[in-house]
Amino acid sequence: MTHLALHATGQFPKRRLIPRGTSPDRFLADVEAWVRLEYPDAVRRTETGTADGVRELAVSFHPAASDVIISAGEDGSVGIRSWFPPVGPGYQTFVGRLAVRIGTEHGLEWTTAAEEGSPVDAPAGADVDPSVVADRQTAEHAYLTWLGSGLITAREARRRGAGTVHLGTPPGVQFQVDGALATPLGPRDDAWLDAAVTNSRLAIDVTPWWADATDARYLLNRALCLMWTEVRWRPPADDDERRVHDEVLRLLARAFPLDPSLPFPWREWHEIARMRGLDDAMTRQVEGKAERAERRPPIGYRRHPVVVVHEGWELEVPGSFTSARTAEEWSGHEAGRSITLAATETGTPSGPMTAQAFLEQVSRDLGPEALTHQDGEVYGRARLTTDASSGLEVGVLEGYSAVRGRGAAIRITFDDSNDWRWALDLWRALAPTRNESLARA
């Protein structure tokens, strides 16, 4: 099989059982400290939590990758899992070697995929020795298989009349671009897609981390992933956004002296430097190159509106909005405007609940003068009020939308009283997700 993910479990040997009093939290804290010490330039963030009663450490190593999850149980069991696409074989070998080193550092015995035969032949989801996925040939084959399949699927969807297909972009959001394909490294047109299906050398142009080395190309691509998908292209609103800007600037500044011939995004580099108020020698050099750079459409999906997808519903919001998501809700805000969206499946013992029944159940507090809305199968009710509890009066829209079997709640606040029409239009635009499978290859 081709390994698109690492799923390995291990156990501390009986001769090296975790000493009494050493909890999973202590083990994960030791791993976190070790990872940050050994890979200071790769770690973006870490977070410890609990999932299904097991303590877990989530580590982010790349903006195009999902987190690497390391788990620990009270019985001395340890697990590690990671999904490799769309980042590339360089990322896969990196994570494989990381898991091998964690095993060595802590005396773990990783479970192999099968007692007989090669681990490469293990079924999907089975435990695999991390050294298998760390093999370059295995990683390259797995990634090219995934990429080729995704490109073929995208081309077929385009030939059937689909809009932009997303390949490897962050889940839960769809970017609005003038192109056949949206990737973490920017959009590609139909001509590129047709050629890439039969030319793997061209196809890997959308691979953020191809080589095993963390060289200049790796640094530039990592910065480009952030610029395309995360940067809001306005002054940062909080510490998280400032960290993204600073990460981009740090990556570009490291990459340039390693290979000045690479196609650096001079204008966007200078734009971010200005937003951070920089005026050093590097920034002045970038400014000069930006003035002479070839004109082209600017980098950044979030310069345009994006479609947020949450629990079966979608909503177009400004790309510059902040974004936070939990299992229960999505929220975003910017410049005196905020949106919170929650959704759920609805049902009764006899089957899916009708839209009207759901609204009758949840919207009673809106009162008899609530606004109503219908667009095809979507029904909605909402109320516009004001709220001065914070000391500043703000407008508030509280609304619900529903179709058979699914319901959503939305809350919109706005400081400017003239934004009431914007809030109403936003609520009315809330709709069930359409053709989500076509949107992603």
Mean pLDDT of 341-357: 94
Mean pLDDT of the chain: 92
Three-state SS at 91: helix
Asked if residue 114 has pLDDT above 60, the reply is: no
Instruction: Give me the long-range contacts of 16-23 (CB less than 8 A, separation at least 24).
Output: 16/107, 17/76, 18/76, 23/74
Mean pLDDT of 395-402: 97
- Residue percentage of the chain with pLDDT more than 70: 93
Three-state SS at 87: coil
Which H or E run contains 14? Answer: none
CA distance 207 to 155: 18
Asked if residue 20 has pLDDT above 50, the reply is: no
Q: Which residue has the tokens 């600017």?
A: 298
Question: Given the DSSP bridges, would you call strands 181-183 and 165-166 parallel, antiparallel or unpaired?
Answer: parallel
Which H or E run contains 238? Answer: none
In this prediction, residue 117 carries a pLDDT of: 38
Mean pLDDT of 273-287: 96
Half-sphere exposure of residue 339, counting CA atoms within 13 Å on the CB side? 27
Asked if residue 412 has pLDDT above 60, the reply is: yes
pLDDT in tens, 255-272: 999 999 999 999 999 999
CA distance 303 to 175: 10
DSSP line for 33-67: HHHHHH-TTT--EEEEEEETTEEEEEEE--TTSPP
Asked if 79 and 71 touch (Cβ cutoff 8 Å), the reply is yes
Is the backbone peptide bond immediately before 86 cis, with ω within 30 degrees of 0? Answer: yes
Mean pLDDT of 398-419: 97
Phi and psi dihedrals of 311, rounded to 5?
A: 50, 45
The tokens for 181 are 């394909």
Instruction: Compute the 3-state secondary structure of the chain and give helix, strand, coil in percent, each to the nearest 5.
Output: 40, 25, 35
pLDDT in tens, 28-78: 999 999 999 999 999 999 999 999 889 999 999 999 999 999 999 988 899
- Among 62-76, 116-130, 374-388, 398-412, name the one with the lowest average pLDDT: 116-130
In this prediction, residue 2 carries a pLDDT of: 57
